[in-house]
Amino acid sequence: GENVEQHPSTLSVQEGDSAVIKCTYSDSASNYFPWYKQELGKRPQLIIDIRSNVGEKKDQRIAVTLNKTAKHFSLHITETQPEDSAVYFCAAINAGGTSYGKLTFGQGTILTVHP
């Protein structure tokens, strides 16, 4: 099955700096890659996603890039703010065979933005 590796496990930045989180996946059939933000004790919330037919997607301060050949994708947050502090999870969907869209998550990155 699919395996997703996420790095780094913790990331500390100063307010206004950029943050980058990287993920690799194992199943070349995966074609949908969402990123979720989870604040302490809260539900995971989708912040951005990318499909395999595009290489980059941007939404204000957040961008995601996808390299299908290398099977890795990254989350980029620019001009970080303290409210960006949370745990971020990447995920992949194995779209082949009898898969029904179950997400395989990375291990998570704890992002801390210092004022």
Partner 1 sequence: GAGVSQSPRYKVAKRGQDVALRCDPISGHVSLFWYQQALGQGPEFLTYFQNEAQLDKSGLPSDRFFAERPEGSVSTLKIQRTQQEDSAVYLCASSQNGLAGTQETQYFGPGTRLLVL
- Does position 108 interact with partner 1 (CB under 8 A)? The reply is yes
Burial of 75 (0-12, 13-18, 19+ CB in 10 A): buried
CB 26, min distance to partner 1, A: 15
Question: Which residues in the 42-101 window bind partner 1 by CB under 8 A?
Answer: 42-46, 49, 51, 89, 91, 93, 95-101
Backbone angles phi, psi at 83, to 5 degrees: -75, -5
Strand 62-67 relative to strand 86-94, pairing: unpaired
* Smallest separation (angstroms) from partner 1 to the CB of 1: 9
Does residue 102 interact with partner 1 by CB under 8 A? Answer: yes
